[in-house]
Amino acid sequence: MENKLVSYETMYIIDSTGSEETTAALVNKFKTLIEQNGTIESFNEWGKRKLAYPINDMTEGYYVLVNYTADPSFVAELERIFNITEGVMRSMTTKA
Protein backbone atom coordinates (compact mmCIF):
# COMPACT_ATOMS: atom_id res chain seq x y z
CA MET A 1 0.00 0.00 0.00
CA GLU A 2 1.36 3.39 -0.99
CA ASN A 3 1.56 6.14 1.62
CA LYS A 4 -0.41 9.28 0.81
CA LEU A 5 1.36 12.63 0.89
CA VAL A 6 -0.08 15.06 3.41
CA SER A 7 0.24 18.85 3.68
CA TYR A 8 2.01 20.11 6.80
CA GLU A 9 2.99 23.37 8.40
CA THR A 10 6.09 23.37 10.60
CA MET A 11 7.31 26.28 12.67
CA TYR A 12 10.59 26.09 14.50
CA ILE A 13 12.51 28.53 16.65
CA ILE A 14 16.30 28.64 16.66
CA ASP A 15 18.38 30.03 19.53
CA SER A 16 19.19 33.56 18.35
CA THR A 17 22.16 34.03 20.68
CA GLY A 18 24.41 32.09 18.27
CA SER A 19 26.19 33.58 15.27
CA GLU A 20 24.38 34.41 12.03
CA GLU A 21 26.38 31.62 10.35
CA THR A 22 25.15 29.06 12.90
CA THR A 23 21.54 30.17 12.43
CA ALA A 24 21.85 30.13 8.62
CA ALA A 25 23.43 26.65 8.74
CA LEU A 26 20.52 25.27 10.80
CA VAL A 27 17.91 26.90 8.55
CA ASN A 28 19.64 25.46 5.48
CA LYS A 29 19.96 22.01 7.10
CA PHE A 30 16.23 21.74 7.76
CA LYS A 31 15.24 23.26 4.40
CA THR A 32 17.43 20.70 2.60
CA LEU A 33 16.07 17.84 4.74
CA ILE A 34 12.47 18.78 3.91
CA GLU A 35 13.30 19.21 0.18
CA GLN A 36 14.86 15.74 0.09
CA ASN A 37 11.80 14.11 1.67
CA GLY A 38 8.91 16.24 0.44
CA THR A 39 7.86 19.26 -1.60
CA ILE A 40 8.14 22.75 -0.09
CA GLU A 41 5.18 24.99 -0.93
CA SER A 42 6.38 28.03 1.01
CA PHE A 43 9.41 28.83 3.15
CA ASN A 44 9.35 31.94 5.34
CA GLU A 45 12.14 33.11 7.59
CA TRP A 46 10.45 35.47 10.03
CA GLY A 47 13.79 36.29 11.60
CA LYS A 48 14.52 37.35 15.16
CA ARG A 49 11.41 37.96 17.24
CA LYS A 50 10.46 38.31 20.86
CA LEU A 51 9.18 35.06 22.37
CA ALA A 52 5.70 34.97 23.93
CA TYR A 53 7.34 33.62 27.09
CA PRO A 54 10.96 32.96 28.09
CA ILE A 55 12.43 29.61 27.03
CA ASN A 56 15.56 28.63 28.98
CA ASP A 57 15.81 32.26 30.20
CA MET A 58 15.90 33.53 26.59
CA THR A 59 13.44 36.13 25.36
CA GLU A 60 14.21 36.10 21.61
CA GLY A 61 14.39 33.44 18.94
CA TYR A 62 14.80 33.10 15.17
CA TYR A 63 11.49 31.94 13.68
CA VAL A 64 11.08 29.84 10.51
CA LEU A 65 7.75 28.72 9.01
CA VAL A 66 7.62 26.01 6.32
CA ASN A 67 4.57 24.69 4.43
CA TYR A 68 5.19 21.42 2.59
CA THR A 69 3.79 18.05 1.54
CA ALA A 70 5.46 14.88 2.76
CA ASP A 71 4.89 11.32 3.89
CA PRO A 72 3.61 11.15 7.50
CA SER A 73 6.56 8.93 8.50
CA PHE A 74 8.99 11.71 7.52
CA VAL A 75 7.27 14.20 9.82
CA ALA A 76 7.91 11.96 12.84
CA GLU A 77 11.58 11.74 11.86
CA LEU A 78 11.77 15.52 11.34
CA GLU A 79 10.38 16.15 14.84
CA ARG A 80 12.91 13.68 16.25
CA ILE A 81 15.75 15.55 14.53
CA PHE A 82 14.45 18.90 15.84
CA ASN A 83 14.46 17.46 19.38
CA ILE A 84 18.08 16.27 19.23
CA THR A 85 19.53 19.26 17.34
CA GLU A 86 21.38 21.74 19.53
CA GLY A 87 20.18 25.28 18.88
CA VAL A 88 16.54 24.41 18.16
CA MET A 89 14.48 25.86 21.01
CA ARG A 90 11.01 24.71 19.94
CA SER A 91 9.27 23.15 16.96
CA MET A 92 5.69 22.37 16.10
CA THR A 93 4.20 20.60 13.11
CA THR A 94 0.51 20.58 12.22
CA LYS A 95 -1.46 19.14 9.33
CA ALA A 96 -2.46 21.96 7.02
Q: How far apart are the first and last CA of the chain?
A: 23
Prediction pTM value:
0.92
Q: What is the reported pLDDT for 88?
A: 96
For residues 64 and 89, is the Cβ–Cβ distance under 8 A?
no
Query: Above pLDDT 70, what percent of the chain?
Result: 97
* pLDDT band per the 50, 70, 90 thresholds, residue 1: very low
User: How would residue 2 be classed by pLDDT, with cut points 50, 70 and 90?
Assistant: low
What is the CATH superfamily name and number for domain 19-89? Ribosomal protein S6/Translation elongation factor EF1B (3.30.70.60)
pLDDT band at 3 (very low <50, low <70, confident <90, very high): low
In the chain, what are the domain boundaries?
Answer: 19-89
Q: Assess whether pLDDT exceeds 80 at residue 73.
A: yes
